[in-house]
Amino acid sequence: MTNPQRDRLESWRVQSPETPGWHAVITPQVHECRHAHIFRLNLPAGHRHTVDEKELELNLVLIHGTARVSGGVEGEFSRFDSIYIPGGTRLEIEAIEECVFYIGGAVEEGCGEVYVQHFDPHLPLGDIHQIHGVGTGQREVIFTLPPQVPASRLICGLTWSNQGGWTSWPPHQHSADLEEVYCYFDMPFPKIGFHVSYLESGKIDEGVVHPVHSGTCVGVPEGYHPTVASPGTVNAYMWVLAAVRPESRSYDLAIEDPQFVNLRGQ
């Protein structure tokens, strides 16, 4: 017997392509997310790609390799460096080494300014580098497009769990204001994690558990979404928040599931 709700939740998981080129992974034309767009760019060494998106703002994060960028941004980029461009900004990307970019997008509203961030794992805790959660739910966060940087709808960042730990715990949702997509990396199979999707407070047994590893993307158009890593695995992912409207572009709108707020870990 089919279960329409379970089928719907299962459709939120997409495995992104590893073949060369620019790939639309999650788009409103095909998937349930209506505001968040996810792309992946795979460039072999020596190959070039032109980014010239008119309708969407984009946050490009270099997940693997090194690249030379020219046009609206100039310079060399390496692992976890990121570029935010408003719609209408043209970039020329050349792979110095084989490259993988994860890219979040949302509708351009004329609010953004070009922003470049070079990854610094030793950055002091503050607006960009943060530690969230406690105990087995503790995780490290580095924003690639923080909320204080002018943009139309996007807020983006990278998260790493503790080994075998939880992230996004307690479970939370922000359905009225923000869509989210999790894009996993540095988790080559058999290293895996589990991304849980459920719609109503406390009804986690009516949800779906998505196995995730490198290249997996899970959309969150609504509902609650904790994640956990398997033993020996660090859950690592780029997260993309896309505001339902420019006025709801904020990082502090998460609503925790009241059934779990007292179970934060030690």
pLDDT tens-digit series, residues 120-177: 999 999 999 999 998 889 999 999 999 999 999 999 999 999 999 999 889 999 999 9
Residue 192: pLDDT over 90? yes
b/e burial code for range 180-201 (CB count within 10 A of at least 16 → b): bbbbbbbbeeebbbebbbbbeb
Pairwise CA distance, residues 95 & 93, whole Å: 7
Is residue 64 within 8 Å of 79, Cβ to Cβ?
yes
CATH number of the structural domain 4-120+127-247 = 2.60.120.10
| Residue 168 pLDDT | 86
Record the pTM: 0.96
| Residue 265 pLDDT | 63
Sign of CA dihedral 112, 75, 97, 157: negative
Domain ranges of the chain: 4-120+127-247
Burial of 232 (0-12, 13-18, 19+ CB in 10 A): exposed
Pairwise CA distance, residues 131 & 141, whole Å: 6
> What are the angstrom distances between the C-alpha of 189 and each of 43, 147, 248?
22, 33, 37
pLDDT over 90, % of the chain: 93
